[in-house]
Amino acid sequence: MTTTFTPTTAGRGLRHRRPRRSAVPYLVPPMIWAGAAGVLALWWSDTSSVVGPSGWLTGAGRITGLLAGYACAVLLVLMARVPLLDHTVGTDRLARWHALGGRCTVGLALAHTLLIIWGYSLTSHTNVVSQTSTLVLDYPDLLKGTIGFLLFLVTGVLSARAARRRMSYETWHYLHFATYLAVFLTFGHQLSNGADFVGNRTAQAAWYALFLGVAALLAWYRFAVPVRRGLRHRLRVAAIHREAPGIVSVHLTGRHLDELGGAPGQFLCWRFLARGLWWTANPYSLSAPAHPGHLRITVKTAGGHSAALAHLRPGTRVWAEGPYGAFTADRRTAHKVLLLAGGVGITPLRTLFETLPGQVSLVYRARRPDDLALRGELDAIAARRRATVHYVVDEPAEHSSPLTARGLSALVLDLAAHDVYLCGPPGMTQAAIRALREAGVPARRIHHESFAL
């Protein structure tokens, strides 16, 4: 069944103002590559000549080792939750860069290990097994470095897509803390054994500055800021309201909540200090604009953590980390905007529907009419701002509307001239992107964020 609601009651639209585009997303990649070039320059300046197979192998091992060490620092910065990066580049894009960089880092570390062993074995005229034993047991800090490398390798394997699907979010999240230990264990051997650092005080100082700076960012934004905010805002659960089958809203109260600075479309990582929940923080979007004394999230049962939220008791203490993400009004580039939601993906779009300037339409897809959460609020917002809402359900089948270019164009006139904010399950998101591109919407105008950490 497809239901279209076009309000006719009086209401004044929000004033459209073209947002200022940040240059940060365009500057970050060149800065990363410039740092990699500086690392290669360090090797070049310290290498007078490369002679023979052993020299080439050892030189390649040094290069890959330097790049792997630098890449570790970059990976940690990308996930340090630095607001300047997170609110401009976007959490989902940073996560994709981090995942790609992680695979490259593991590959570089593995190449470094194999090339160094091979090159040293040719130089010393020994077999690779004997040379490996000598390196690990006799060279300073290499035993710790080997343990760190193995931790990197295990983390990389378990983060692969096939393995990731088989573990819970909480397990995957805490597994990544092993990378902090891995970086700590491998750091020492770089300075103790790296030919580019031994005797080079300038290079050592630069390497220390790089990693201490990264450690400071992590300590501040991943640990100190959440603790400080938890103590200041004193969030507590106020009430739990059922919105649809398997979907509940958690209402929270606290102090000075306006200081959190959460913009419509952003999310926070919520840690509920209740039995079975306190040890993990999961990402959930705000489903209503932030109020100085009240916040709300709306959650669908999709696992043990989300299912337990329906049984929280009023008064339960809550710690919130964030806000995170760039799924905000700042991404808008056109006057006309389409909000395309699937299932519980309506939560960030509901806040944007209320606050986003310009001409806004909403298409909300769900399996059945009963699954349309927050419908009363959406109708009220549409009436207030003279907007249009299309409710599309899959059952009964005779009233369904396919997620295709033709189907979307029939609902939204002049679709190609719209910015599109998209949020829903992965399969729906991928199908929607294909349909939007086929309908002529430029890729730069399709905004979506996975909210995965």
Predicted confidence at residue 9, as pLDDT, reads: 36
Mean pLDDT of 61-86: 92
Percent of residues, the chain, with pLDDT higher than 70: 90
Both tokens of 69, joined, read 């060490």
What region does 403 belong to: left with phi over 0, alpha with psi -120 to 50, or beta? beta
- This prediction has a pTM of 0.80
Percent of residues, the chain, with pLDDT higher than 90: 38
Predicted confidence at residue 61, as pLDDT, reads: 92
Highest mean pLDDT among 159-168, 198-207, 255-264: 198-207
pLDDT tens digits, one per residue of 13-43: 445 455 566 788 889 999 999 999 999 999 8
Predicted confidence at residue 5, as pLDDT, reads: 46
**190/15 Cα distance (integer angstroms):** 56
Residue 280: Cβ within 10 Å count: 18
Q: How many residues does the chain have?
A: 453
Predicted confidence at residue 246, as pLDDT, reads: 86
Mean pLDDT of 318-345: 89
Q: What residues have CB less than 8 Å from 117, skipping those under 6 apart?
A: 128, 131, 132, 135
pLDDT tens digits, one per residue of 413-438: 999 999 999 998 888 999 999 999 99
**72/360 Cα distance (integer angstroms):** 42
Residue pair 423/448 in contact by the 8 Å Cβ criterion: yes
Predicted confidence at residue 164, as pLDDT, reads: 65
Three-state DSSP class for 176?
Answer: coil
Predicted confidence at residue 18, as pLDDT, reads: 54
Predicted confidence at residue 69, as pLDDT, reads: 93
Residue pair 163/157 in contact by the 8 Å Cβ criterion: yes
* Start-to-end C-alpha separation, the chain: 35
Measured over the CA atoms of residue 96, residue 23, residue 221 and residue 109, the dihedral's sign is positive
In 3-state terms, the chain is what percent helix, strand and coil (to 5)?
55, 15, 30
Beta bridge partners of 123: none
Residue pair 403/367 in contact by the 8 Å Cβ criterion: no
Burial class, 228, CB count within 10 angstroms (exposed 0-12 / middle 13-18 / buried 19+): exposed
Predicted confidence at residue 2, as pLDDT, reads: 45
Q: What residues have CB less than 8 Å from 183, skipping those under 6 apart?
A: 72, 76, 148, 211
Both tokens of 347, joined, read 């939560």
Both tokens of 203, joined, read 């290079």
Mean pLDDT of 303-310: 78
Q: What residues have CB less than 8 Å from 343, skipping those under 6 apart?
A: 300, 365, 366, 367, 371, 424, 425, 428
Residue 331's pLDDT band, with cuts at 50, 70 and 90, is confident
Which parts of 16-141 fold into alpha helices (H)? 24-45, 52-78, 83-86, 91-124, 128-138
- Residue 366 above 60 pLDDT? yes
Residue 371: Cβ within 10 Å count: 21
Range with lowest mean pLDDT among 22-26, 201-205, 352-356, 431-435: 22-26
**121/103 Cα distance (integer angstroms):** 27
Predicted confidence at residue 32, as pLDDT, reads: 95
Highest mean pLDDT among 103-117, 280-294, 387-401: 103-117
Radius of gyration of the chain (CA): 26
The pair phi, psi for residue 139, each rounded to 5°, is -85, 140
DSSP code, position 335 = S
Range with lowest mean pLDDT among 41-55, 230-244, 391-405, 425-439: 391-405
DSSP code, position 280 = -
DSSP labels, 80-110? S--HHHHTTT-HHHHHHHHHHHHHHHHHHHH
Q: What residues have CB less than 8 Å from 409, skipping those under 6 apart?
A: 415, 439
- Residue 213 above 70 pLDDT? yes
- Residue 177 above 80 pLDDT? no
Mean pLDDT of 88-103: 88
CA distances for 90 relative to 4, 321, 331, angstroms: 32, 16, 10
Residue 1's pLDDT band, with cuts at 50, 70 and 90, is very low
- Residue 404 above 60 pLDDT? yes
Burial class, 92, CB count within 10 angstroms (exposed 0-12 / middle 13-18 / buried 19+): middle
